[in-house]
A and B are shown apart, each in its own frame.
Chain A
Amino acid sequence: MNAVNKDKLWTSLKSKYSIYMVLLALFLISWLANENFVSAENLMNISTQISVGTILAFGQTILIICGMLDLSSASVLALAGVLSVSTYKMTGSLTLAFLVAISVGVICNILNGLMVTKFKAPPFIATLAMMTMARGAALMYTNGQNIYQIGGYTVFGQGRVFGVPAPILFMAVLLAVTWYLLKHTVFGRSVYAIGGNEEAANASGINVDKIKMRAFIINGILVGIAGVLFMSRINGGMPNGAIGYEFKALTAAVIGGTSFTGGIGTASGTLAGAFIVGFLDNIMVLVGVNSYLQQIVRGAIIALAVIYDIWAKTKRTKRKLGTVEAK
Chain B
Amino acid sequence: MNPDIKLRVSNVEKSFPGVKALDKINFAVRKGTVHVICGENGAGKSTLMKVINGIYKQDAGQILIDEKVVQIDNPIQARSLGISMIFQELNYMPEMTIEESLFVGNWPKDKYGKVDWKEIRKRTVELLEKENLNYNPETKLKDLTVSDIQMLEILKAISYNSEIIIMDEPTSAITNKEVEVLFKKIYELRERGTAIIYISHKMDEIFRIADEITVFRDGTVVDSRPKEQYDLETVITQMVGRKLENVFQKEEIPLGDKVLQVKNLTDASKFKNISFDVHKGEIIGFAGLMGAGRTEVMRALFGLENYEAGEVMINNEKVRIRNVRDSINKKMVMLSEDRRRFGIIPVRSVKENVSLSNLKKFIYGGRLHAEEENQTAADLCKKMNVKTPSLETTIESLSGGNQQKVILSKWMVTDPDILILDEPTRGIDVGAKHEIYKLMMMLAKQQKAVIMVSSELPELIMMCDRIYVMAKGEITGMLTRDEFSQERIMAYATATKTQ
Contact = CB atoms under 8 A, between A and B. Distances in A.
- In the complex, A touching B (Cβ < 8 A): yes
Interface of A: 3-4, 7-8, 12, 183-186, 189-190, 192-193, 196-197, 199-207, 259, 261-264, 316-317, 319-327
B337 to A, nearest CB: 11
Contacts of B414: 205
A3 B18 contact: yes
Contact of A184 (B44, B347, B352, B368): B368
B256 interface: no
Given A193-B348, A197-B346, A185 B19 contact: no
B366 A184 contact: yes
A327 B218 contact: yes
B342 A200 contact: yes
Given A186-B360, A263-B346, A317-B396, 10 more contacts: A12-B392, A200-B343, A202-B304, A204-B357, A263-B347, A322-B16, A322-B19, A323-B16, A324-B46, A324-B397
B345 A196 contact: yes
Nearest 3 pairs of A and B residues by beta carbon: A322-B16, A326-B19, A4-B18
B21 interface: yes
Contacts of A192: 345, 348, 352
A8 B334 CA distance: 34
Contact of B341 (A4, A200, A206, A320): A200
Contacts of A189: 352, 355-356, 359, 363
Interface of B: 16-21, 41-42, 44, 46-47, 218-219, 302, 304, 323-325, 327-328, 334, 336, 341-348, 352, 355-357, 359-360, 363, 366-368, 389, 392, 394, 396-399, 410, 414
19 contacts: A186-B359, A186-B363, A189-B363, A192-B345, A197-B341, A202-B304, A202-B324, A203-B304, A203-B336, A203-B342, A204-B324, A204-B356, A204-B357, A205-B414, A207-B325, A320-B396, A325-B19, A326-B16, A327-B42
Contacts of A327: 19, 42, 218-219
A200 B42 contact: no
B18 A263 contact: no
Given A8-B389, A189-B352, A325-B44, A200 B344 contact: yes
Given A184-B367, A189-B359, A325-B47, A203 B345 contact: no
Contacts, number: 121
B347 A207 contact: no
A261 to B, nearest CB: 8
B19 A204 contact: no
Give the interface SS of chain A, mostly helix, strand, loop or mixed: helix
A185 B219 CA distance: 44
A196 B42 contact: no
Nearest to A8: B389
Contacts of A207: 323, 325
Contact of B42 (A184, A197, A325): A325
A197 B343 CA distance: 9
Contacts of A202: 304, 324
B397 A205 contact: no
Given A189-B359, A204-B324, A204-B357, A197 B19 contact: no
B345 A205 contact: no
Contacts of B342: 199-200, 203
Contact of B325 (A197, A205, A264): A205
Given A189-B352, A193-B348, A326-B16, A203 B324 contact: yes
A263 B16 contact: no
Contacts of A205: 324-325, 327-328, 357, 414
B131 to A, nearest CB: 29
User: Residue among A4, A200, A317 with the most chain B CB within 10 A?
Assistant: A200
A193 B356 contact: yes
Given A189-B352, A192-B352, A326 B397 contact: no
B360 A196 contact: no
B348 A7 contact: no
B256 to A, nearest CB: 26
Contacts of B328: 205
Contacts of B218: 327
B394 A316 contact: yes
Contact of A204 (B18, B346, B397, B410): B410
B343 A264 contact: no
User: Residue among A190, A321, A326 with the most chain B CB within 10 A?
Assistant: A326
